[in-house]
Amino acid sequence: MKKIIVIPDSFKGSLSSLEVCNAIEEGILRVFKDAKIKKIPVADGGEGTVDSILYATGGKIKKVKVKNPLGEIIEAKYGIIDNNKAVIEMAEASGLTLVKEKNPLKSSTYGTGELIKDAIENGIKEILIGIGGSATNDCGIGMANALGYKFFDENGNELEATAENMIKIARIDNTNIYKQIFDVKINVACDVKNPLYGKDGATAIYGNQKGVTEENFDLLDNGLKNVAKLVKEKFNKEIDYIEGSGAAGGLGGGLIAFCNAKLKSGIDAVLDIVDFENEIKDVSLIITGEGAIDGQTKKGKVPVGIAKRSKNIPVIAIVGDIRDGAEAVYDMGIVSIMPALKRAMSLEEAIANSRSLIVDATERACRFMSIDLQVKN
């Protein structure tokens, strides 16, 4: 019996990663009727990360009352795996979809800090945090405040940990922090490369979608710069130009500064938390996929991230579209790319028929593989 791992990304605009998994499974079973199939739907740290990982690992949901970006009490969730690992989406507590009116000056990541603290209080020893979809631009000072950090101005007055106050901070106090944070391994799923501030930083690149205007841009960007300066003075950590420090309005940098977190590519962080190397033992074939594959895919996207860690197990990719530069992935561990389209069609038609197209493409790929040139028995 062949053991096959199915681990695709979503096909954005048409199918979730789990729906793609199910379509690929159907195509496999048309050819390898006795195959043992393990489905691992993948998300990159953004929306759907918790649900995807819990499906793959059989974990459970924990619901918590936290503050949303503007301080209103809401119910948020995170995932628990094996009673000692947690998966958190910052967007559950600090996401853009949680606010009716965008207000980047008043928005805070405090609720994300509450999720982290709750996880640790429940015995969690390893946390994966996805930081996509944020409403915030506060360098994670709200998150830090929930963990006991305090921020003071030059007159010794304690400041509310919101983005507008970053520029006023003169001193960071870590006297009464929740010290258990340093006993926990924290990985951050982060695929953006932006530094903390400047022309390619958090405010410049992502601020507009959060309501940043010309009038408040300098206040926020200089605020990020001020926090980075204080972090260097207090903790001897330079977060200014770390790739990904500008993710989620500077939360990437804040997690490094205040929680000793490590930033990882989204797919590597997810593969770590699902114990991918253990999952692929005795596997004959790995099938991955995404909506389109091109020259950018080699820069850390799901198919290549999986192929790099496949330990010479054949990896094939089912894709919606093959674009210029796709051949680069052959040198990175993917042995074959199978396009879903069978004929020329409009994007609308392709999206409408995406499930059946993926099923048929998988069947074609498996019939080719069934000659056993590369699939291990």
Q: And the tokens for 47?
A: 């929306």
| Segment 22-26 long-range contacts (CB within 8 Å, at least 24 positions apart) | 23/354, 23/355, 23/356, 23/358, 23/359, 23/362, 24/287, 24/289, 24/318, 24/358, 24/359, 24/362, 26/359, 26/362
Q: Give per-residue pLDDT as tens, 116-154.
A: 999 999 999 999 999 988 999 999 999 999 999 999 999
The three-state secondary structure class of 167 is: helix
pTM of the entire structure? 0.86
Which homologous superfamily is 49-267 in? Glycerate kinase, domain 2 (3.90.1510.10)
Q: Give per-residue pLDDT as tens, 144-185.
A: 999 999 999 999 999 999 999 999 999 999 999 999 999 999
Q: Which class in CATH covers the domain with range 3-40+295-369?
A: alpha beta
Among candidates 196, 150, 197, which has minimal Cα distance to 169? 150
Domain regions of the chain by residue span: 3-40+295-369, 49-267
Provide the pLDDT for residue 34: 92
Task: Specify the pairing of strand 185-189 against strand 262-264.
Answer: parallel
Q: Give per-residue pLDDT as tens, 52-92.
A: 889 888 899 999 999 999 999 999 999 999 999 999 999 99
